[in-house]
Amino acid sequence: MSRIFAAALAAALCSTQVAAQDAPPATVALTLDEALAAARQNSPALEAASADLRASSAARTVAGLRPNPSIEAQTENVAGSGAYRGIDSAETTVGFALPIELGGKRSARIGLAEAQGARARIDAAIADADVTLRVTQAYVAAVAAERRLGIARAQAGIAAEAYRAARIRVSAGRASPIEQQRADVLRINAEAAAARAERDTAVARDTLARLIGRPVVAGLDLAWFDRIDGYGPVARTSVDGTLALAAADAEVATADAQVGLARSQRIPDVTLSAGARRLEATNDTAAVFGVSIPLPLFNNGSAGVAQARAERDRADARRRMARIDAEQAISAAEAEVANAAADARNATGPALAAAVETARIARIGYREGKFGQLDLLDAERTLAETRAAAVDALAAWHDARARLQRLTGAAPTITKD
């Protein structure tokens, strides 16, 4: 009976271990690229970024418009006293006024609108990169949860078989009842852990579903999760051309445009007018011409220029800070990716192989009576912990690589309209 049970136990262990490592064959797996494509179609953040782009395009159009002319009409010398009683002495003037912008105000407005439009395009690229990072992290979490669920189910199967073995050994008088009680406790704990892993997997899949805007009914790409591409970047990545620095550069460009606009505001505009005047007393008409020039006595625009220059200095300082922060973050992320890759390779390679071999030897020894139950349970627990550590290491590597890709993402090429 001992040999029969040992064979059954070995078969159960093999089947549960295979189930823990292989994906369910029910449906075609949802890949990360498919999840990202779905997220881009349903992301509110990308919809907001698209609206910002349309708004910036409209703002560029508005900035290029010239001031509207105006029609003026006025009546003088009416409703007075003496000779000006009534409307007999009325003088009615109808005119046309055209503001003339001086100092390059229109080109300055266009320059500011184009700078703001460039920033909007960079913000849209940043929004896309943020969505990519969030979906990738959610996808990694969901795959890791499925891996952990497989391990938990395998452990529950192993614990159930170990409990049945202990019960048979106790019934045959070959073991102490304590062995059965110990195995029962381990079985209950393993089943609870499997149930907890099922709930965690459901939560992770729901989170991914909310981000991509559709239910996740298919399996996930578990083979992608197991692949490790290198140990991280060999050479240090330059911060130039990244989204983080591009956003800071766009802020400086916008501040420069604000300075140009403030300078143009110092030049007063001229309003030219022309019209016709009708004199009621003589029924004659005469042409009227005029020019209006504001006098910059109280506000000559120097304060606005000073404010714009200060804001430009602030933007330049923030750009230098952004470069330092980006270089530090990229350097740390590269080291983290390299470390995570090494950890993942070790956890899925030598460490896991050693744990598998130890568990195999423990099963054989337990079957032949050379090892006790505690030795077998310790080997199985070590194998489960090693597999869980491998999943954690793979998840950490994928997460670190996703964050590094977010930091080193290339900025879009900005062309003037």
pLDDT along the chain (417 residues), means of 10: 36 41 56 94 93 95 94 85 75 91 93 94 95 96 94 87 78 76 85 94 95 90 84 68 91 95 93 88 87 90 94 96 93 90 84 83 73 75 85 92 91 72
Q: Are 50 and 131 in contact (CB under 8 A)?
A: no
pLDDT of amino acid 415: 66
Q: Are 266 and 300 in contact (CB under 8 A)?
A: yes
pLDDT of amino acid 231: 53
Q: Does CATH number 3.40.190 belong to domain 67-100+267-300?
A: no
Tokens 């708004």 sit on residue: 55
Degrees, nearest 5: CA angle 398-154-15: 110
pLDDT of amino acid 254: 95
Which residue ranges make up each domain of the chain?
9-66+101-266+301-407, 67-100+267-300
pLDDT of amino acid 235: 61
Measured distance CA(208)–CA(375) in Å, rounded: 40
pLDDT of amino acid 9: 35
Query: How many Cβ atoms sit within 10 Å of the Cβ of residue 188?
Result: 13
pLDDT of amino acid 13: 40
pLDDT of amino acid 379: 84
- Homologous superfamily (CATH) of 9-66+101-266+301-407 is Outer membrane efflux proteins (OEP) (1.20.1600.10)
* Equal CATH topology for 9-66+101-266+301-407 and 67-100+267-300: no
Q: Which two tokens stand for residue 232?
A: 């991280």
